[in-house]
């Protein structure tokens, strides 16, 4: 029978917890204060900071659980980018190992770029600010929560709560599929048969067959889909 030895200083400590929270609060406030000093439109940066901090705090269940919230607020409420541009950001994220931060950084860039009239400098600052405020709460969760993780292993009430969260996450991911699927199949926003984009529908059906019936490697199929999209774009742009 093996025994685990506790590493000194790794257990829960209230003074250390308070120090970590104080440092995290300082790290959160400091960049916001600098933006207040150098920016002519601080309200935008305050909105961006609060938005992505909230997004980082609700990232239960992977990127696909928080992206519906980000898409809805950034597209429909804040009007930083269009639904089609949000799809472009998601496609960009799927080409990398870290889809969430890639998509959020893209949204932050588009927010600054759009709000400040096509300024690449504002877009770049929006990207950096988004990345910072997305990662900061995640690191706080890790540093503050690590000493408590072991106590949750055999906590049955907590496991019951997490199982409910898991069920909710599945529903949220389904909502993302519906939201993005609607943007792909009905790019004009009109939910009617005449507005249906038939090439996208055919490719979705072909992808389902390839991935689930023929068991084609997903990474390979993403590359095939990108090539097919490029050929389709070139074909329609020269009116073939």
- pLDDT tens across the length of the chain (240 residues): 444 545 555 566 778 888 888 999 999 999 999 999 988 899 999 999 999 998 888 766 566 778 888 888 999 899 999 888 888 888 787 777 666 788 899 999 999 999 999 999 999 999 999 999 998 988 888 888 777 776 676 777 877 777 787 777 778 778 878 877 888 888 877 788 888 989 999 999 999 999 999 999 988 998 899 899 889 888 887 765
**What pLDDT shows up at residue 218?**
86
Instruction: Give the count of beta carbons closer than 10 Å to the beta carbon of residue 31.
Output: 16
**What pLDDT shows up at residue 127?**
94
Instruction: Show Cβ contacts of residue 167 under 8 Å, excluding neighbours closer than 6 positions.
Output: none
Q: Whole-prediction pTM value?
A: 0.78
Instruction: Give the count of beta carbons closer than 10 Å to the beta carbon of residue 122.
Output: 21
**What pLDDT shows up at residue 9?**
56
Q: How far apart are alpha carbons 4 and 128 in whole angstroms? A: 41
**What pLDDT shows up at residue 34?**
93
**What pLDDT shows up at residue 130?**
94
Q: How far apart are alpha carbons 140 and 156 in whole angstroms? A: 25
Alpha-carbon Rg for the chain, nearest whole angstrom, is 22
**What pLDDT shows up at residue 3?**
47
**What pLDDT shows up at residue 239?**
61
**What pLDDT shows up at residue 129?**
95
**What pLDDT shows up at residue 59?**
67
Q: How far apart are alpha carbons 98 and 180 in whole angstroms? A: 19
Give residue for tokens 């770029």: 113
**What pLDDT shows up at residue 187?**
82
Q: How far apart are alpha carbons 137 and 135 in whole angstroms? A: 6
Q: Return contacts of 5-14, CB within 8 angstroms, 24+ apart.
A: 10/146, 10/147, 11/147, 12/147, 12/148, 12/151, 13/147
**What pLDDT shows up at residue 1?**
45
- The helix or strand, by DSSP H or E, that contains position 34, with its residue range, turns out to be helix 14-38
Instruction: Give the count of beta carbons closer than 10 Å to the beta carbon of residue 89.
Output: 24
């Amino acid at each position: 029978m093996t025994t685990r030895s506790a590493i000194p200083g790794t257990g829960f400590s209230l003074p250390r917890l308070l120090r970590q929270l104080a440092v995290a609060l300082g790290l959160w406030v400091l960049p916001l204060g600098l933006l207040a000093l150098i920016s002519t439109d601080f309200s935008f940066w305050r909105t961006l900071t609060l938005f992505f901090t909230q997004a980082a705090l609700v990232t239960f269940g992977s990127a696909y659980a928080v992206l519906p919230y980000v898409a809805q607020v950034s597209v429909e409420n804040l009007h930083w980018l269009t639904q089609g541009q949000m799809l472009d950001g998601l496609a960009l994220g799927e080409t990398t190992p870290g889809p969430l931060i890639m998509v959020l950084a893209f949204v932050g860039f588009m927010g600054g770029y759009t709000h400040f009239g096509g300024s690449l400098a504002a877009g770049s600052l929006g990207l950096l600010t988004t990345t910072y405020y997305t990662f900061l709460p995640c690191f706080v969760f890790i540093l503050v929560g690590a000493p408590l993780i072991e106590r949750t292993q055999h906590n049955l009430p907590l496991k019951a709560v997490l199982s409910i969260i898991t069920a909710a996450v599945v529903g949220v991911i389904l909502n993302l599929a519906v939201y993005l699927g609607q943007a792909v199949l009905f790019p004009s926003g009109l939910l009617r048969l005449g507005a249906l984009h038939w090439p996208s529908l055919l490719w979705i059906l072909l992808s389902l067959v390839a991935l689930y019936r023929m068991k084609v490697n997903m990474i390979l199929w993403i590359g095939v889909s990108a090539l097919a999209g490029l050929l389709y774009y070139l074909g329609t742009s020269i009116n073939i």
